[in-house]
Every structure is written in structure tokens, then in C-alpha cells.
Amino acid sequence: MFNLLGWFDLGTPEGMLFLISSILILPAILFALWAQFRVMSAFNNYSNVMSQTGETGASVARRLLDQNGCGHVAVELTNGHLSDHYDPRKKVVRLSEGVYNSSSLAALGVAAHEVGHAIQDHTGYAPLKIRQVVIKTTRLVNFALLPLIIIGMIGMFVGLIFIHPDFFFWFVIAMAAMYGMSVLVNLLTLAPEFDASRRARKLLDESGIIRDPSEMDGVRRVLGAAALTYVAALVVSLVYFLRFLALAIMLAGRRR
């Protein structure tokens, strides 16, 4: 049985980084939960506010795609709640039932946002292309983010007491690398998502689909809440990355 508690030196820069990042874990997770609650609340609220035009999310998506040179992009219904997305490989905007068949402000905002991604793809928007390339190589890591958080917390406690120091060291290195890739993916996600929301507001305004300033305010609130979830995901992955990075540096110093 090995006790690695003696390996920690909180008086060093990496020790302080480990301590600070450890303290920030709970606030980061609470921030992510709050961001998720906010997007659900905004979507549910504005799902009950119908637009003056009465157009559905599907018809709005089709119209905006056709008006912006993306007539080749299909619009399809997909299962799930808030599972809306643009598939750049198959050139398809997929809308959930609550968006596809609804004429609410929330539905129009989400549909226009996904059209924004299709237009990004059509015009060769560089941040989207970079994100697509990176995601192809890190898809498994980003998908496994929540399990990684759980494994990391358990591994920290178990490793400090029972696991051989060499095994624990390489476990920490692996976790730091995976969270580092997650940080990269989440960071590269911000620009395309914020840009797609900006495009969505402009498209809805210029096309006359949204005519009333109060309606645009509702769309803005939904899209703003959604964007916050991407910021929260970056914060959580960054805090965990810094924690494991600091721990890896401390352990590497003790191995010399």
C-alpha cells in the first residue's frame, strides 16, 4: 500500500495551482448546472410565445437556407429535446419536434441558429472548419467528459492510498491529456456558436420573419442562454485540466 499524500507541496507554483483549481471545481460545476437550467428555462418560457408570422421552425429554416445559397441543405425532423444540430457531412439541418413543428420564438431562434451553421459551412467559415477537424480526432474525449470527471474524482482518492505511484502518475498524465483535448474542443466551439447566433438574429431581422423588437428580445434571450452552456463547458474542462496538469508537474518533480 502506498501513500502519496507526502508528494504534495502546496508551497510551489504548481502546488498553488492545484489547490486553487481544486477549490474552483465545485463553483465550475454549479455554474454549468445553472447554465443548463437557464437555457431550459428560456427555451420553455419562449416556447409558449408564438411569433406573429406563424411560421414553423421547419419552414423558417427552409426559407433562410434557400435565401442564402444553401438550397442543397435538407431540413429533417430528429428525435430528442433540444437535439437540434447541423450535420456538415450530410448537409442536413436536423430540428427536434419542439422546434420543427412550432412557431414559437424559441423554435425560430433555434432553427435560425442551425441555419447559421449551414451558412458557415457553405461560405467556408474557418473556425467551423478547424472545429470539425479537431472534433474528428477528439470526439471520444468530449463525449466522455462527464464520465472522465467521475473517474478523475474516484481515481484521485483511490490512487492516493492504494495504487502504486508509477501507475498513479501515468493515470494523472492521461487525465491531463484528455481534459486538455476537451478544453481545445470547447474553446474552438465558442466562435462558431456565437457567430451562428449572431447570424440567426440578423437573418430573422432582415428576412422580416421577426418584426417586433420584443420578439427579437425573446430570440436573443434563448440564444444567449444557449451560448452560456458552451462557456460553462469550457470552464469545467479548463478547471479539471489545470488541476491534473498541476498534479502531474508535482508528481514528475518527485520522481526525479
Choice among 114, 193, 206, 215 that is catalytic: 114
Q: Is the dihedral of CA 64, 66, 69, 72 positive or negative?
A: positive
| Listed residue (118, 103, 23) closest to 64, CA to CA | 118
Q: Is the dihedral of CA 196, 199, 205, 208 positive or negative?
A: negative
Distance CA 2, CA 6 (A): 10
| Listed residue (20, 18, 12) closest to 253, CA to CA | 12
CB 138 within 8 A of CB 185: yes
User: Cβ of 33: how many Cβ atoms within 10 Å?
Assistant: 12
CB 32 within 8 A of CB 233: yes
- How far apart, in Å, do the first and last CA atoms of the chain sit? 21
CB 115 within 8 A of CB 63: no
Q: Is 14 a catalytic residue?
A: no
Distance CA 71, CA 94 (A): 15
Q: Which residues are catalytic?
A: 114
